[in-house]
Structure 1
Amino acid sequence: MPPKPLYYSKGSASLRYLHTVDENVCGYKACPKPKPGYLNVHLVPHTHDDVGWLKTVDQYYYGSRSMTQKAGVQYILDSVIQALLRDPSKRFIYVETAFFWKWWREQHDSVRHQVKRLVSSGKLEFAGGAWSMNDEAGTHYQSTIDQFTWGLRKLNDTFGECGRPRAGWQIDPFGHSREMASMFAQMGYDGLLFARLDYQDKETRLMSKTAEMIWQASANLGKASELFTSVLFNHYGPPPGFCFDVLCADEPIIDDKDSPDYNVDERVSAFIKHAELQSRYYSSNNIILTMGGDFTYQDAHMWYKNMDKIIRYVNANKSNGTKLNVFYSTPACYLKALNDQDLTWPVKNDDFFPYASDSHSYWTGYFTSRPTIKRFERLGNNFLQVCKQLHALASVGPEDWKDLNRMREAMGVMQHHDAITGTEKEHVAKDYARILSDGFSECLEAIEGAFKKIIPKSSVVKEELSEIPIKPCLKLNVSECQVSEVNNSFVIFVYNPLSYPTSHYVRLPVTSTSYSVKDPNGKEQITQLVPIPEPVRTAPGRMSDATNELIFRATDLPPLGFRAYYVTKLNKEQQKEHKREVLDEAYEIGHKKFSLKFDDVTGKIKSVVSQGHKMKVKQDFYYYKGFLGNNVVFENRSSGAYIFRPNGSEAVLASSSVKQKFIKGPLVDEVHQVFSDWISQVVRVYKGENHAELEWMVGPIPIEDNIGKEVITKFSSSIQNWGVFYTDSNGRELQWRKRNYRPTWNLSNAEPIAGNYYPVTTRILIRDKDAELAVIPDRAQGGSSIKDGEIELMVHRRLLHDDSFGVGEALNETAYGKGLIARGQHYIVAGAIKTFKNISLAAQERMLIQQKVLAPWIFLAPADDICFEQWRETYKMEYSGLKKSLPPNVQILTLEQWKGTALLLRIEHILEKTDDPDLSKPVTINLKDVFAPFSIKSVRETTLGANQWLSDSKRLKWRVESNDIHRDTYSHHSSSYYYDDDDLTITLNPMQIRTFIIEMKGKFYGIKSRN
């Protein structure tokens, strides 16, 4: 039977956006019962289906290019479903909703009903359940939450409560973050199972029976972030010799006693030996055997026929007194069996980075691999949030929902552990870029629709507006924008996705020498023209005649809103002077509160002065020579897409001195630096800002010497950090790091550089008792503090040999017939560890990160046929989706159309409890009068993934070993889950995210809501 919607008597009857099926037997009720006194062996049939890797997403789904890899997901699902229907004793788990949904849409209703019965009886169970099995190093928490929300929503809409995954299943990501564990806990999962952890860590844990633990995944959220975690014994494959797949060569179970190949006794003995061996390393009398692997089960019958025999013959074996109970199971049932034993478990507080598979294979290269697609993904998140906000605020109709869905799904694919990681083949990377580019195009349709609803001052002008395109400039990384270059007049909409006002410096390429910029009140803005650096102007693929960038400051941009500026190219009679100085020698840029000084000999940065605190800070570019080996033995491992392995412990200085040009003006001071013919940089300090921007440009990395290179930028300071540094976890909580040290085992490190690299999603910093230096990248990168006082970040890699971990080609990216050029930004915050204007340096860093991750987005509309006065009379030039801004430590993480007349709303506290003496305190806000376009009728709180009412979330409880580590005692869960319009007050604790489905009053999306 299809799932029935769950209605609630309290509050609005239309709050029925989560489904349940009370009469079905699924979840823990469907689990087999382990036998007391036996070793209970949980056979878990599964397939691991990469959403792109050696083949594209479609090639994997349809099974094309079989000479590259014999893998067809559609055949796997066809085969498994038929096997489950033939025999109700079978079980199977599926993980990647992206592939499942692609298959589901092709099925006839009769097949869909059969599958629903399998799910409602617990025979087919979903684990993980996100759109893809995401990476945990380079992903940002906002994108991770989004892609889980989308995958879980599809399962909930289709299968109700029986489709809700209870177990996290991260079996293939290359290391595991603490923030990911925290998110699993907040989404209501009962546990997490994974395969990859450092080989030394795994050995230590197995020998001490601590491969299963309670992960205390947040220093701020307490018990709400605790997650039972299990490390799989045999990676995620079957026991050796027991792979019964068309892709495997293991012997089947031959049980005809008349056959000369009869092998039951031998196979039963081997199976029992493995089960007993594995059980020695775990604490309970339950063990899990993962019966599957990469793209297995294209012929499910082979697996099930042989597993049936294993179950039959092993359970019947009495010869040696072994008491084994073997049965089909699932990860969730395994968790329930462990929980029922009521054992006490050890705890873990750090993360599982970096991951090493052997003494010379540290999987830290992928933290930086394919830097341009990492940046494209980060921009995609920024754009998707803008798209969702405008779509919701403008009440764009259901006909445009599909435009958002394309981008949601593209971003979900990009989180996959072979997408954003850069560990895919190059043709697959290009296909990921195509998918994301298509998502941008579709989402733009929704944005244009939103603008055309919001900005007209009367309905009569809507038809005129339909003729005016409103477009973003997606090639600003090479200073190219058609609208600003070819039009004499154009309007700039600067949209602010933050929940509080912000200011933003707009930079656009232009072809003339004088411009007028007017704000909504007609006030002339201060402008500055800055020359585009020569390396950018001559970049391969750039199709622009612009030689300058026009700069102005868009001030006090309204929260969840925009301010429009009218720009006009001035003729000779109208031209005004754009103040700027171009100097060959200046050696200092900035303003009174923040400045940089440069060495008068080398031309490189030598010090920072911030709020009167002077700090020695040198910055330079180096590269490591990539190790080139034959990969036959560990010592000959090459550096590749996954592995960072420098040939030697010292990086090579890229250039001893730089050519430079200083530009000073009323808005920004810049230094254009050229280090070599393949490394250049622009260093900027904007007026009024307390940080520096370093815009680097690296490539094509030279390989004429047949040496691959891994390029880093290094900051050397006077800070004495004693080997300690900090990196963020997926953009959220900071993680303490110490050079050549792991908190949970005694490290033996044969790779002193690569073994000290960690993922940096949004921040890396060092500090001492007086000062701090932080670097904020614009994309995920690998970084470290290899020597005291230093921070280094890897910005680009070009290698000439594969590292033999499966991708099968060297990481040698090209574009336009040359080696790939990457361009990006680092933001430098430095100064004394003290409050400034009542805001700590840590809080300033958090806010700056928010302003960069959710940066104002610029849209342009040509206006050659309409003057400023006409535009202002006809269209709104200022708009806010909020009646009042939220505090600076609070952010609307999600605002999007959900279902029917409802919206999905997430609100977060962006600070940790130790960041700031005042701003880190709990915050109470009232949602009643926050939004401008609508009023809220009722609110109901859900788990983080928005697929279960928070009041219904009852996670398994686990016993924890006593320890001396302080933990907060407050619960993430609120005592109140339902709110009506009389009381919409909520409180946020540090680092807390709360998720709500909100119902509007009156008309919304053209639908009259029930009152």
Structure 2
Amino acid sequence: LSGNESYFSRTTTPQPSTLTPTEQPVTIQNEEISLAFDANGLVSTLTEKATNVTHTFRQEFFYYLGVMNGSQPSGAYVFRPTGQPIPIEKAQLEVVKGPLVEEVRQTFSSWVAQIVRLRKNAKHIEFDWIVGPIPKEEANPITKEVVTRYITDIKNQDVFFTDSNGRQMMRRQKNYNPNFKYIDTEPVSGNYYPVTNRVFLKDDNKQLTILTDRSQGATSLDGGLELMLHRRCFADDHWGVEEALDEPGDGSGLVVRGTHYVLFGDTKTAASIHRPLAVEIFHHPQLTFASVKNATTYSQLYTMEFSSMTRSLPDFAHLMTLERWHRKSLLLRLEHIFQNQEDAENSKPQKLDLEDIFSQFRIVRMTELMLAGNRNITNFTRDRPSRYKGDFQITLKPQEIRTFKLDVEWL
């Protein structure tokens, strides 16, 4: 599966966006969202333009001090803070406003900075954060573990949801486990869960969803979410590494950069936005650049725009694999990305017609295989045909992945 678009860029009359340093409260907005920042330079409120309702919405950085001694210090495998985190309270701001993007650039310290960005027509907010190198004291250095918190007015009753490997959402409850009697010996780390690409909390009306660009740890607060960003530990946790989690990088410590994509809106429609957005983030296009002397000559020599598909797939469908096996056969794997009872329209079995959907070939025959693609599915099931000829319409159930061998004629 592939596609590309090429664009020519040239210097014209400069029309710079305004870059304004400020210590006053500011606002950025697009067609969907308005974000306000307070006098300390922190996000304070979010306004949904469709309803003109303003909500409490705060985002802040904190760092925990880790346990350094005793039988179980904080380290590579163990997160064990000494108590409540220390806030990083004030940011210097620069505001950039242009026709496609409005953003606020926050500088909290020499080792914490962030860009809060609203793109034109986007329903999500980008928090592009940079943390590090975490300071190390010359004598008796102290473990520091940096987190970010997103606080809203949602009444989530200590319940939140994390993804299972980017697919099914798992219900989590603070200070509770359904499989054993929970003993609150580690009130912070005992409530942390792995997040592969998203975490959310909700009530009957509103939902806060955070999509990550990498696996992270997360927990819930009253009306908010906390995600771990960076750690620098100065004691071994005695679980096999036999060294402290103190990676020097260039000698000063590691710098970590990442992005959180934050959605806030109606609970009933949240999945219809965050499910396709997660796929879009995972398959973000790779950018390449080249110096070109003559645009006309280049466009005559090279294909400026190409797609291996004739039309877009519907929102529920994700093309996971399109792999060439032999000269006239390919492996196709499709996924229904929605979960049961998640969305009124998309959380249903959906039909998908594969005929004429690909631009480079025509399907002659289609054979369904097991998920691994190494055996015919009729060897194990009797409730569905394995071979399709002439009619290439399939049905995908919520969260289902189906695998096919395609015999094709190249166009």
Distance in 1 (alpha carbons) for counterparts of 2:17 and 2:186: 52
Q: Which structure: greater helix fraction? A: 1
Q: Residue 910 of structure 1: which of 309, 314, 337 is its match?
A: 337
Please list the CA deviations of residues 921-951 of structure 1 after superposition, one character each: whole Å capped at 9, or x if unmatched.
2221222211111111211111111122211
| Counterparts in 2 of 1:815 and 1:951: CA distance versus 1, 3 Å | same
Matched, 1:979 2:388: yes
Supply the distance in 1 between the matched residues of 2:228 and 2:32 (Cα, whole angstroms). 30
Would you say 1:936 and 2:399 are equivalent positions? no
Residue 998 of structure 1 is matched in structure 2 by 406
Residues 1:651 and 2:85 aligned together: yes
* CA distances 1:193-229 after superposition (whole Å, capped 9, x unpaired): xxxxxxxxxxxxxxxxxxxxxxxxxxxxxxxxxxxxx
- 1:575 aligned partner, one-letter code: T
Q: Within the alignment, does 1:779 sit opposite 2:214 as a pair?
A: yes
The structure with the greater share of residues assigned to strand is: 2
Which letter maps to 2:194?
Answer: P
Distance 1:883 1:771 in 2: 37
What letter is aligned with 1:707? I
Q: Name the amino acid aligned to 1:774.
A: T
Q: For 1:564-583, list aligned pairs within 5 A.
A: 564-568=6-10, 570=11, 574-583=12-21
CA distance in 1, matches of 2:77, 2:296: 57
Distance 2:14 2:113 in 1: 31
RMSD: 1.7
Q: 2:316, 2:266 → 1: CA distance?
A: 21
Name the CA distance, whole Å, in 2 between partners of 1:586 and 1:663.
14
Question: What CA deviation, in whole Å up to 9, does each residue of 1:488-507 have, x standing for no partner?
Answer: xxxxxxxxxxxxxxxxxxxx
* Residue equivalent to 1:591: 30
Q: 1:692 touches 1:829 (CA, 8 Å); kept in 2?
A: yes
One of 110, 119, 138 as aligned partner of 1:677: 110
Residue in 2 that maps onto 1:799: 233
| Equivalent in the alignment of 1:861 | 290
User: Partners of 1:621 and 1:579 in 2: how far apart?
Assistant: 28
Q: Shift of residue 881 of structure 1?
A: 0.5
Q: 2:253 aligns with which of 819, 824, 829?
A: 819
Segments of structure 1 that go 5 or more residues without pairing to the other structure are 1-388, 391-560, 631-635, 835-839, 955-972, 1004-1011
**Hey, what does 1:603 align to over in structure 2?**
41
Q: Aligned partners of 2:47, 2:262: CA distance in 1, in Å? A: 12
Other structure's SS at 1:863 match = coil
| Alignment gaps of 5+ in structure 2 | none
Q: Is the 8 A contact 1:583 1:663 kept in 2?
A: no
The CA deviation at 1:586 is: 5.5
Residue equivalent to 1:686: 119
Decide whether aligned partners of structure 1 residues 800 and 581 sit closer, same or farther in structure 2, where only a CA change above 3 A counts: closer
Q: Give the TM-score normalised by structure 2.
A: 0.95
SS at match of 2:367: strand
Q: Aligned to 1:615, which of 47, 52, 55?
A: 55
2:63/2:144 contact within 8 Å kept: yes
Aligned with 1:565: secondary structure? coil
In 2, are the aligned partners of 1:606 and 1:617 still within 8 Å (CA)? Answer: yes
Secondary structure of residue in 1 paired with 2:260:
strand
Partner of 2:322: 895
Shift in Å, 1:581: 4.7
Question: Secondary structure at 2:147's aligned position in 1?
Answer: strand
2:179 maps to: 744
Residues 322-359 of structure 1: per-residue CA shift (max 9 Å, x gap): xxxxxxxxxxxxxxxxxxxxxxxxxxxxxxxxxxxxxx
Cα distance in 2 between the residues matched to 1:847 and 1:680? 29
SS at match of 1:842: helix
Aligned to 1:404: none
Describe the superposition over 1:698-749 as per-residue Cα deviations: whole angstroms up to 9, x where unpaired. Answer: 0001121511111100111111111101111110011000001111221113
The within-5 A match list for 1:158-557 is 389-390=1-2
1:562 is matched with: 4
TM-score norm. by structure 1 comes to 0.39
Cα separation, partners in 2 of 1:987 and 1:779, compared to 1, 3 Å: same
Q: Please say if residues 582 and 664 of structure 1, whose CA atoms lie closer than 8 Å, have aligned partners that are also in contact.
A: no
Give the distance between the partners of 1:563 and 1:739, measured in 2 at CA: 47
Please say if residues 615 and 831 of structure 1, whose CA atoms lie closer than 8 Å, have aligned partners that are also in contact. no
Deviations for 1:533-584, whole angstroms, at most 9, x for unmatched residues? xxxxxxxxxxxxxxxxxxxxxxxxxxxx22211122x2xxx42323435352
| Structure 1: distance between partners of 2:80 and 2:377 | 46
- 1:909–1:991 contact (8 Å) kept in structure 2: yes
Partner in structure 2 of residue 789 of structure 1:
223
The answer for the alignment partner of 1:123 in structure 2 is none
Q: CA deviation at 1:827?
A: 0.9
Alpha-carbon distance between aligned partners in 2 of 1:979 and 1:734, rounded to the nearest angstrom = 33
Partners of 2:18 and 2:95 within 8 A in 1? no
Question: Is residue 922–residue 990 contact of structure 1 (8 Å, CA) maintained in 2?
Answer: yes
CA shift for structure 1 position 832: 2.9
Sequence identity (%): 37
Give the Cα–Cα distance (whole angstroms) in 1 for the partners of residues 295 and 214 of structure 2. Answer: 38
Partner amino acid for 1:667? L
Choose the corresponding residue for 2:397, options 982, 989, 997: 989
Residues 951-984 of structure 1: CA deviation (Å, up to 9, x unaligned): 1136xxxxxxxxxxxxxxxxxx86111112x121
Taking the aligned partners of 1:984 and 1:904, their CA distance within structure 2 comes to 15
* 1:808 maps onto 2:242 in alignment: yes
User: After the TM superposition, which of the residue ranges 847-856 and 728-737 deviates more from structure 2?
Assistant: 847-856
CA-CA distance at 1:805 after TM superposition: 1.1
On the 8 A contact 1:691/1:829 being kept in 2, the answer is yes
Aligned residue for 2:245, secondary structure, equals coil
Question: Partners in 1 of 2:311 and 2:208 — Cα distance?
Answer: 34
Query: Following superposition of structure 1 onto structure 2, how do residues 627-666 of structure 1 map, counting pairs within 5 Å?
Result: 627-630=67-70, 636-648=71-83, 650-653=84-87, 655-666=88-99
**Displacement, 1:900?**
4.8
